[in-house]
Structure 1
């Protein structure tokens, strides 16, 4: 320690750039790092204006035309208030139309506009290129398996988040 302080002029040495081992062992840390990297890559290589959730909503509208906003919220893993906000913003930008359901005026039926369909086509093309790059470190025959595993983990983590209590089978103090 004395030698370290002498070399650093008496200052405390800078923190190493490597994360602590307990963080690396925590799945939440890895998921957060991946998500932060994904958001950065999305903004740089796909679209700096259209967000991932907006892309998901446009994709769901294309896949399930004339569906209502609340039903599609579940399909794209958004809560209903976030979905309403995302849809309002996309409607203002002219990407979607929201109309009242003829059977229930409280329900909003969503449809793509021409501008929305064009934006979705372009962003889909860019997204597929990004997907390819993100999975480039994985053998091609396992890429579908990895995507499936990530989605299965997402569904499981959503279920864990809904629980009132955890089972307590893990070790105490694990970083997440």
Structure 2
């Protein structure tokens, strides 16, 4: 009897339940699920040390040289305190340099180091390969539309997050 009970318990513990239909219908669930999968794919196929936000910061520094840290935070969808932490870590790793602005000592001007530029080139190649793989299930002529749609949704969701609380209809 003990063996049969243990066997039933083991089957229950290892059974994988499908998510409930109302959860699958929720866009936030889909977004979180995609993001979790993206983080796992990034770590496995791109880099297990350099993070996506760090890659975004390096890309923004290359695109907007000699910009200040606060200005670039918005460009890469990071709040200013997270941006400061990300930049400190990358500075310690020798990927970026931070210098005081000649006009305002509180502002930090960012630049890529030679190591940062080299790392960015390699990570960009890996990221583009991952992008192709992630979009392989989408017809090629629609792939550009996916990024536009995701960024449109991201901007809209950010605006919703900034609104007063949504109240349920009474």
Q: Same fold (TM over 0.5)?
A: yes
Q: CA deviation at 1:97?
A: 0.2
The residue number in structure 2 matching 1:80 is 80
Q: Structure 1 8/26 Cα, relative in aligned 2: closer, same or farther at 3 Å?
A: farther
CA distance in 1, matches of 2:131, 2:8: 48
CA distance in 1, matches of 2:8, 2:66: 68
The residue number in structure 2 matching 1:41 is 41
TM-score, normalization by structure 1: 0.87
The residue number in structure 1 matching 2:67 is 67
Q: Structure 1 57/42 Cα, relative in aligned 2: closer, same or farther at 3 Å?
A: same
Q: 3-state DSSP class of the match of 2:19?
A: coil
CA distance in 2, matches of 1:7, 1:112: 61
CA distance in 2, matches of 1:10, 1:77: 47
Q: CA deviation at 1:32?
A: 0.7
Q: CA deviation at 1:153?
A: 0.5
Q: CA deviation at 1:166?
A: 1.8
Q: CA deviation at 1:10?
A: 7.5
Whether the 8 Å contact between 1:160 and 1:166 is mirrored in structure 2 is no
Whether the 8 Å contact between 1:66 and 1:111 is mirrored in structure 2 is yes
RMSD over aligned Cα atoms: 2.2
Q: Which has the higher contact order (CA 8 A, sep 6+)?
A: 1
The gaps in structure 2 that reach 5 residues or longer are none
TM-score, normalization by structure 2: 0.90
Q: Structure 1 8/80 Cα, relative in aligned 2: closer, same or farther at 3 Å?
A: same
Q: CA deviation at 1:17?
A: 2.5
Q: State the Cα deviation string for residues 119-156 of structure 1 (Å, max 9, x = none).
A: 00000000000000000000111111011000111111
Structure 1's consecutive aligned runs of 4 or more residues displaced over 4 angstroms after TM superposition are 6-11
Q: CA deviation at 1:167?
A: 6.2
Whether the 8 Å contact between 1:98 and 1:108 is mirrored in structure 2 is yes
The residue number in structure 1 matching 2:50 is 50
Please give the residue correspondences for 1:130-145 in structure 2 after superposition, counting only pairs within 5 Å: 130-145=130-145
